[in-house]
Structure 1
Amino acid sequence: MAMQPSDRFFVSRGWRVVHLLLLLVVGLLGLAQAGLGGWLVAVGGTPMHLVCGLLLVIAAFLGWRRPGAAEGLAMLVAFGVALGWAIFEIAGKGWMPAWGFDLAGRVGIVFALLAFTFAASILARVPRSGLAVGGAAGVGILASAGLVAFFWERPMEPTTGAALASQQVPAGGNDASEWRAHAGSHLGQGYSPAAQVTPANVSRLREVWRHRTRDLPPNERVFYSAQNTPLVIGDGLYTCSASGQVFALDPATGQERWHFDPRTSPSVMESLFSVACRAVGHHGTPGAQACGERIFSTTADGRLFALDARNGTPCAEFGEGGIVDLTEGMGIREPGFASSTSGPAVVGDAVIIGQQVSDNQRRDAPSGVVRAYDARSGALLWAWDAHRPDAQAPLAPGEIFPRGTPNVWTLITADEQLGLVFLGTGNSGADHWGGNRTQEEDRFTSAVVAVDLATGATRWSFATVDHDLWDYDIGAQPVVMDMEIEGVMRRVVVQGTKTGSLFVLDAATGEALRPIERRPAPQGPLLSNERISPDQPHSVFYPNFAGHPGPMPEVVDARHTFGVTPLDAAWCRIQFHQMRYEGIFTPPTTEGRGMLLFPGTIGGINWGGLGVDQARRIAITNHSRLPNQVLMIPQAEVTDRAVGDGGARPDQATAPQAGTPYGVQRPMWLSPLDVPCIAPPWGYLAATDMATGQLLWSQPLGTGFDTGPLLMPTFLRIATGTPNIGGPLVTASGLTFIAAAQDDWLRAFETETGRLLWSGRLPAGGQASPMTYMHQGRQYVAIGAAGHQRLETRTGDYLVVFALDE
């Protein structure tokens, strides 16, 4: 039946109402953008937000007064200016990876809103145009779907160049059947000679079992990030959960053999930024009786346990009933203020313990001491600290270890051949003010320190940052490997840093074996009684991973700001102009909105460290690109109490840094929609040729599938790159496995090319480093999937294990 005139009248009137409502939205958006644009001009920014906002207001006004060609022309001009400006700035930044997402964030909402508004205008005036408008909309939807499909992350075919490498075990490394330490061995390489899973067959990888620890956050004041990488030794798999519970499992089935619960109090865990148990330690001969084989674990309240590997019972002859009290000699004011989250390194007959100290609470925080205990008796062998010249000197009665010294919170590396232990250190008790740090503290802050395995004496040290005021502490585990330097094979330490450098040092002497340049750093004005180094060390042989990989740390400007709407984009841009920023070593300040810390507190390269394929001479690194705002608060204005003075970390708006002139606020730089204020990529995965220094490939790591604006999943597997925590696993067959990103996937890449070959869905966030082992002729790949509450990934309690289908 043909549409009657009265029907056409009501249809037109309905579309006219829709058109007017959409014009109202366009006008309000334009007014808001123009208002923010005016503010941006006032703080020294671009006028383009003001111009684009006014053009939207004009388009809305014309559409309200005179729908038709004038309205369409005004909308076209408004969109054209916004599009041209966006392309000009994106091109000016160098067409970074994920530029398409950057473009969509700049103009996508404006384009959609203007298109819908103009379509409603046509339908209101020409009712019979519905078919044409619908057809145009259909074409637009199909084109958008096609673009999404084109950029959708999907596995690729391997190249023919990924030939099977030699399965020779690096000196001091692990063999294919075992995974003896967090990174496979105490060399920290994240490498396995296991080669049953190859680029050619990895597509057949399937989940074969999963285990649940039943250890979930006890309340909203405790933030979990278990981050555990299991050990496989002999016929047992050993893993721990965030609160320090230990599990022994069958490597083939995941069947639980025993479970030990230290019953850590939730209140103790409140002081930790995130509660983790990255590793357990192992000592002894597999299958030995009566504690001849032991599993070592630590807890947030400062206990070190030695457990019988057969049944999980404490070994009575170790310490007191199987426990060594790690709070002894520490003078800890509050339980949990200092604890070992990275677990023990068991090297020879020594159990070596570092510790995290809750950041920025007080200058006289607990000591950063690193201690070694006898694996059999629990007796203290040595205690290394920046202020202890003799690591074997006993404490006098009532004496405690020096307060506020640099700590070692990350994983510890060792080389038994050299008899050395390698420590990656953090900062003194206050990260962002160092006016009263001693010469010894500065020497051992953000440094690689080699200490004697037998005595704890310092053999050499190398500071990666001088007088660190930025929390650029060493999170990445030092890596020991053999490398040819000028035709001579050398034993080296490779250290990745939050500042994006890869430093290569002689393992025996600390001599720099790849070029390092000292380059000028920004200077004043400085905080009260502060000092700053005139220059800072940069490794220049390898790419830098402080931001977008390149020859130097990336320097951002206002063009790098981002939003998913014009409003949050303008808001972020205003903030950029209200912060101090002069590059990677911008001094902290009390002015404006503070200092832009880029790279941020999670890196650059963080605790997940490097994966090294020594046969291929390739190092795999993942790093984040997520700034912080750091605002120093004069102590007279700080009302939050420090831990140890009755304060609790979950209650603090300002980290007090008690005992210094300033507290500090340092949130991630996010928009009101909980999206980074910097354009993507927000995280990368990269491969570097360690012999030539060439960047072989780099690409964004992670998608917004499980998180997006307002923490809502987008369900889009488009590689924008996300902030990432966790490390890579590299295998002899030419594969790199990694999760780490904010989406819940474990991925396998071709090491030589970076091609994505496989991905496996995880039930929670994979902010742990994966591992692999051979058992009864089958290769397994395992990863802890427990999430990271601070990174806002899905929380769980899983260990997920994959193998080739049979």
Structure 2
Amino acid sequence: MPAGEETAEAATGQQTDQGNRAPRPQPEIGADWPFWGGDAQATRYSPLDQITRDNVDQLERAFIYRTGDMPTGSAEGKYAAETTPLKIGDQLVMCSAKNILIAIDAATGEENWRYDPQVSNDAIPYSASCRGVSAYTAPGLPDDAQCKTRVIEGTLDARLIAVDLRTGQPCADFGENGQVDLWQNIGEKVPGWYAVTAPPAIVRGVVVTGAQVKDGQAEDAPSGVIRGFDAVTGAFLWAWDLGRPGEHGQPPEGETYTRGTPNMWTTATADEKLGLVYLPMGNSSVDYYGSNRSELENQWATGLVALNALTGEPVWDFQTVYNDVWDYDLGSQATLLDFPTGEGETTPAILLPSKQGDIYILDRATGEPLTPVGEIETPQDPSVEPDYISDVQPTSEWHTLRKDELVEKDMWGFTPIDQLWCRIQFRRAGYQGFYTPPTADQRWIQYPGYNGGSDWGSVAVDTDRNIIVANYNDVPNYNRLIPREEADEMGLRPINEQPQGGEAGENADVGGAEGAGDPQAGAPYAIDVNAGWRNDVTGVPCTRPPYGGIRAIDLNTGETLWDTPIGTARRNGPFGIPSMLPFKIGTPNNGGSVVTAGGLIFIAAATDNLFRAIDIETGETVWQDVLPAGGQANPISYEVDGQQYVLIAATGHHFMETPIGDYIIAYRLPE
């Protein structure tokens, strides 16, 4: 719903105060990959076409670079780097799992420089992740100035860091010797509770960042405030603290930004022309209980919010869940595109995927839907919050990745015994289909689970063929609310009440899923999530495969062109024993794809450690390579000296149970 009429183009007073912040030309993707999402529109589409279906089988490894950032001590079991480099000029620039900034030669993989901000293990929240960095060229600095082009990252210990693209040296003009402390005005510093894992958005010279607030700890949690900083000086410009509407400065002396508010842990998208930044918002700190939330929390959670990037004032928002108690926060970066409206006309639009599987197309300036949006009635009983659960929920009537509701015959197992056990669990659980309300006296089935639908890997859009490429998960969660007295007996305590200090890592829920015993302090219930609904004996999901797929969607009509499982059984099997079978079963996946003008989709993401090329016209896998570690990252494509490269970070993922590594692997055709 609209929250203001003014775009940044109208904020002339703010421009005067902050200097010249007129729209500036954005770098074309061409031979480079200058943004985390490929181009400024976040399409993940490369115009390179040297590699095609006819020659992709000739791909060979051009180089393997190793970052050297591997887990030690208390970081064991908590690495999920999820890294996507930028390619700018002749360099690849990236961050490692613990925020080491690195530049390597894009053709050879030879290291040019590295800068280690010395992030400690106790700063790791759920995962040591750094999905990417951002770059900014300062128009007011001489071409030979230090940090004319700077690389900016957010860190796990909540700093913004800026270094020179050419040398890796900290930018002396940015904050204090290249750093800005994001803990300022957040409150008590509890390592691991407040961290940045996504690249910041930069629009009109303003660095916009949110942060991940570790899920499920307490209602009295760090704020989900979004802040804007000057990209050259690092100076604070504004804050969007949803608990203080209309106030965009720092809080009064001795106060903090509003505690426990919804946060943006994923990647925002910048619109340089409109001067807007689009924020995929998460939920309040306690995901699975909402009756204690404020009206402002209910208004802004789990929706896409467009902010004026010069003032921090909301311009519009589009909510994908009303009163979310399912942890359906928006994880995907939204994509800017020109949406066909008929008779050769297009409208500037933004594409928004959700964890529920819905894909929405909205007007970029107003947030009004350009494709049909409906409402469905949602179950109300039984519920621990009958007065809070919304009667209806929005859904896309244009396209959804969501499958049919589960039935008992969907329960599955490697033997009749474990299939029977899963059927018994199905009958014991509460399940009324989509949006079954949380319960405490029995388990309830959440389908889709909190991993999607679409997650942080986002979708890719072939803007020449007008095809959306979306990979997705298709597994439920098996959950239960834990009454407070029982949670206390279990010893479930929030992160700020656990032992702290050094490398002890006492806050780690090592190897567990998010929500697997989260205390939710302040609410009457803790939460226990069985992510993927694993069979207690075999460790495989209780529902039949496929557990993940990839789909091509016609952007003009929303119709499915093809849909196929992604991932083989080669590394999956009962009791955690790899079957080594090459059958395509469709595994859970984490990470996205790149689409090229050569008609290929490159994607890893699945748990089989395969990097594959898929024909965008047919969905057929036409090439694959075995990676030395999990490929839970977004690949890129770029060009050096007339040769097209494709690159993937094989760094693994503890939650996806793939091997951890530090490999950056590039491919090209033989010279």
Question: TM-score of the superposition, structure 1-length normalised?
Answer: 0.76
Aligned counterpart, 1:260: 115
Which residue of structure 1 lines up, in the alignment, with residue 467 of structure 2? 618
How far 1:390 sits from its partner (Å)?
Answer: 2.8
Rounded Cα–Cα distance in structure 1 between residues aligned with 2:634 and 2:473: 15
Compute the displacement of 1:745 (Å): 1.1
Which of 633, 651, 654 pairs up with 1:786? Answer: 651
Q: Corresponding residue for 1:710?
A: 575
Superposed counterparts of 1:653-672, under 5 Å? 654-668=517-531, 669-671=533-535, 672=537
Equivalent position of 1:387 in the other structure:
243
* Superposed displacement of residue 289, structure 1: 3.5
2:575 maps to 1:721? no
CA distance in 1, matches of 2:385, 2:465: 50
Give SS of 2:485's match. helix
Name the SS for the 1:644 alignment partner: helix
In the alignment, which residue of structure 1 is the partner of 2:100?
A: 245
What amino acid is the match of 2:472? H
How do 1:162-173 and structure 2 match up within 5 A? none
Task: Give the aligned CA root-mean-square deviation in angstroms.
Answer: 1.6
Query: 1:300 maps to which residue?
Result: 156
Shift of residue 469, structure 1, vs aligned partner = 0.7
Distance 1:525 1:210 in 2: 54
Is 1:748 aligned to residue 613 of structure 2? yes
Q: Measure the CA separation in 1 of the matches of 2:313 and 2:356.
A: 28
CA distance in 1, matches of 2:608, 2:172: 44
Alignment counterpart, residue 499 of structure 1, candidates 324, 334, 356: 356
For the pair shown, the structure with the greater C-alpha radius of gyration is 1
Asked if 1:422 corresponds to 2:278, the answer is yes
- Do structure 1's residue 515 and structure 2's residue 372 form an aligned pair? yes
Q: Which runs of 5+ in 2 are unaligned?
A: 1-24, 500-506
Higher helix share: 1
Match of 2:30 among 171, 176, 179: 176
Contact 1:364 / 1:659 at 8 angstroms: preserved in 2? Answer: yes
- Indicate the SS of the match to 1:571: helix
In the TM superposition, 1:585-604 aligns within 5 A as 585-592=435-442, 594-604=443-453
- Asked if 1:575 is matched to 2:425, the reply is yes
Q: For residues 645 and 637 of structure 2, what CA distance do their matches in structure 1 show?
A: 5
Q: 1:699 aligns with which of 564, 580, 583?
A: 564
Match of 2:126 in 1: 273
1:283 pairs with 2:133? no
Runs of 5+ in structure 1 lacking a partner?
Answer: 1-170, 549-553
State whether residues 241 and 248 of structure 2, in contact with CA within 8 Å, keep that contact through their aligned partners in structure 1.
no
Aligned 1:542-691 pairs, distance under 5 A: 542=399, 544-546=400-402, 548=403, 554-592=404-442, 594-638=443-487, 639-646=491-498, 648-650=507-509, 654-668=517-531, 669-671=533-535, 672-691=537-556
The within-5 A match list for 1:225-374 is 225-269=80-124, 272-284=125-137, 288-374=144-230
1:391-433 Cα offsets, whole Å, 9 max, x none, are 5323211221111111111111011111111010000011010
Secondary structure at the counterpart of residue 497 of structure 2: coil
| 8 A contact 2:204–2:275 mirrored in 1 | no
Deviations 1:568-606 (A, max 9, x none): 1111111111111111200000022x1111111111111
Aligned counterpart, 1:207: 61
How far does the alpha carbon of each residue in 1:417-454 deviate from its partner, in whole angstroms, 9 at most, with x for none? 11111010000011010002122211211101111121
Check conservation: 1:562, 1:572, Cα contact below 8 A. yes
Which letter maps to 2:439?
Answer: T
Quick one: distance in 2 between partners of 1:330 and 1:186? 30
Q: Which amino acid aligns with 2:306?
A: A
Q: CA deviation at 1:173?
A: 7.1
Give 1:777's match in structure 2, choosing from 642, 646, 651. Answer: 642
C-alpha separation in 2, matches of 1:570 and 1:618: 41
- Mapping of 1:96-111 within 5 angstroms? none
Partner SS, residue 442 of structure 1: helix
Contact 1:435 1:529 in 2 (8 A): no
Opposite residue 520 of structure 1, the aligned amino acid is E
- Report Cα offsets for 1:2-40 as digits up to 9, x if no partner: xxxxxxxxxxxxxxxxxxxxxxxxxxxxxxxxxxxxxxx
> Residues 713-751 of structure 1, C-alpha deviation per residue, up to 9 Å, x if partnerless?
211111100000000101122111111000111111111
- Could you report, residue by residue, the CA deviation over 1:665-692 in whole angstroms, capped at 9, with x for unpaired residues? 0022111211111100000000000111
Amino acid at match of 1:679: R
* Contact 1:213–1:241 (CA under 8 A) maintained in structure 2: yes
Task: Give the partner amino acid of 1:284.
Answer: T
Q: Provide closer, same or farther for how the CA distance between residues 287 and 796 of structure 1 changes in structure 2, counting only shifts above 3 A.
A: farther
The alpha-carbon distance between structure 1 residues 760 and 212, as it changes in their structure 2 partners (threshold 3 A), is same
1:391–1:455 CA contact under 8 A, matched in 2: no
Match for 1:193: what amino acid? P
One-letter amino acid matched to 2:534? L
Provide the residue aligned with 2:503 in structure 1. none
Q: Are residues 379 and 693 of structure 1, via their aligned partners in 2, closer, same or farther at CA, if it must alter by over 3 Å? A: same
Counterpart in 1 of 2:12?
Answer: none
Question: Matched residues in 1 for 2:28 and 2:378: separation?
Answer: 42
Whole-angstrom CA distance in 1 between matches of 2:414 and 2:27? 47
Instruction: Kindly tell me the number of residue pairs found equivalent between the two proteins.
Output: 626
- Shift, 1:177, TM fit: 1.2
Percent identity between the two aligned chains:
41
Kept in 2, the 8 Å contact 1:361–1:643? The answer is yes
